[in-house]
Structure 1
Amino acid sequence: MKKKDINIVKENYDNNAHAEWERLEGFHFEFEIAKHYLKKYLRGKTVLDIGGGPGRYSVYLAKLGYDVTLVDLSEGNVALAKEKFREHGVNVKAYVCDARDLSSLRLGKFDNVLLMGPLYHLSGVEDRKRCVLQAKKHLNGGGVLFASFITITAGLNYYYDTAPEQLLHEPAMDLFDRMEKDESWSGMAFTQATFINCLEVEPFFKELGFEKLAILGQEGLAGPRLTYIERAEKPVRDLYLDLSLRLCENPQYFVYSDHLLYIGKHD
């Protein structure tokens, strides 16, 4: 990945750290379903949150009693994360570093590693491999990796959900060319981003030495009407959350989600 593209991502989060924190404020399928699976698969007591942004997952896990360390590319994210840790009364260490090379931090090994952001932005498969191998290097034997991607259908779900007419004026129609060919797409979206072909995910991690525990869509069935359902009355939200938790691991429904979560064990 070119340095200018990394800088685009870094500057986006430096300038929008508060927006990134607020993005998961309140009820969001992405966060609710992730929390369910974190509780199910976390092992031991230590967590390395790589690309942890302003600390939403780190705060949640620290409050559950985990010993958490956060790393992020963006100084703005890390500064806000430290504020949030103080505000919520949790003790979480936080460092600025590129997810592709953590060697300068000498962090040691952890029972669990989260990659809930870096793989959204790494356009080249070799960069994605470097990132995941860094995570693996910091996992204890038998430790668990949680890695999230943006799905190739996330853009289409966005148009369905909020602005179907905007597609008439969308210059990046090559996204749909890639969908037609069952390929991933990289380019400018909300920032420099990669939308992954879901069929690539399991073989990618198998090649890097992980045993799959689960793959799931983080929005379950709600993606195409996400904004409406998340703002609905609690009984409606709860119904769709229950349905989503029942079906989110079924590959034929991955297309309804904007984010795909891979959970795997270090062999």
Structure 2
Amino acid sequence: METILNYYNAYDEDNRLVKDKAHEIEFITTVHFLDKFINKTSKVLEVGAGTGRYSFHFAEKACEVTALDITPRHVDIMKEKAAGKTLKLNPLLGNALDMKKIENNSFDAVLCLGPLYHLTGEEQRKQCIRESLRVLKPGGVLAIAYINRAATFVNYIHRNAQNINNAGLWNIAKTGLEFNNEEDCFYYSTYAEMEALMDSFNVNKIDNIASDGVVGTLRDIINKFTDEEFNKWMEFHLMTCNDSSLMGYSQHGLYLCRKA
């Protein structure tokens, strides 16, 4: 936990999803699909809310939102951003593995769009899903984001070709195995791992989406697009992002399901 807190105390999470066109794709795609299931009558919990980019999106659509995060700095930022606004938004300090302050079956939608990035043990990931489902109403929608292992490997090489010699990077590439990289507080999954994890719960799958698609291989080109060209790219992306053959390219995945 200390490693995670240190990471986010030094990282600008508030601008991650908006700092350029390539980074915007993940946010645009996620809300494109979530907006199909969440409306102004929905009671929403975001687990691992960060600085509240998604929580504010839905609060501004008149949803009642609880935004829970483990990082005190993030909770303070959300409170500052909400100050003076007439939003039904409650920033809350808490742990995704033990949400004891939250009652059973109390939310129409639970957004778990960050915790699985950091839960390196399988039992931890299962506990996070159990807690998310516990507080979700029957028939409610659960959204889970994960980082794709293969795309991460490629991304690290793109950053620095010498990373091909990094032993920790090769641990990331070992699909199906637990790995431990002391320099990295992230966990990287695969489409198949995510499918197997969620198959162990009593849920009805809606979709498994490549949130940013092939953007990792085209980042520089996409960032040079005009707004019109970017809109055309998004049209293509949204047509293809639930094609399972693209999942290995996508840095982020989004699993959507309903609680049975």
Q: For each residue in 1:186-242, what CA deviation from the matched residue of structure 2 results, as whole angstroms up to 9, or x when unmatched? A: 5356x4010002111122112111110011010023222234413422122222211
Deviation at 1:84, TM superposition (A): 1.6
What is the number of residues matched between the two proteins?
Answer: 256
1:127 maps to: 124
Given the alignment of the two structures, is residue 101 of structure 1 paired with residue 98 of structure 2, yes or no?
yes
Deviations 1:95-140 (A, max 9, x none): 1111000113558610000000000000011000100110001111
Query: 1:232 is paired with a residue of what secondary structure?
Result: coil
Are positions 1:167 and 2:163 aligned together?
A: yes
* Alignment match, 2:4: 9
Q: 2:74 corresponds to which residue?
A: 77
Instruction: Provide closer, same or farther for how the CA distance between residues 99 and 76 of structure 1 changes in structure 2, counting only shifts above 3 A.
Output: same
Letter in 2 for 1:175: N
* CA distance 1:240–1:188, change in 2 (3 Å): farther
Mapped to 1, the partners of 2:118 and 2:162 lie a distance apart of: 23
Aligned equivalents of 2:67, 2:220: Cα separation in 1: 29
Alignment-derived partner of residue 35 in structure 1: 31
TM-score (norm 2): 0.90
Give the match for residue 140 of structure 1. 137
What TM-score do the two structures reach when normalised by structure 1? 0.88
| Separation (CA, whole Å) in 1 of partners of 2:223 and 2:179 | 27
Cα root mean square deviation, aligned: 2.2
More helix by share: 1
> Which position in structure 2 is the counterpart of 1:3?
none
Structure 1: where are the runs of 5+ without partners?
Answer: 1-5
Rate the CA distance shift 1:198–1:67 in 2: closer, same or farther, 3 A: same
The whole-number CA distance in structure 1 between the counterparts of 2:191 and 2:178 is: 8
Please tell me whether the aligned partners of residues 153 and 256 of structure 1 are also in contact (alpha carbons under 8 angstroms): yes
Amino acid at match of 1:100: L
State, as a whole percentage, how many aligned pairs show the same letter: 25
Q: Structure 2: where are the runs of 5+ without partners?
A: none
Partners of 1:107 and 1:81 in 2: how far apart? 25
Q: Give the distance between the partners of 1:144 and 1:155, measured in 2 at CA.
A: 27
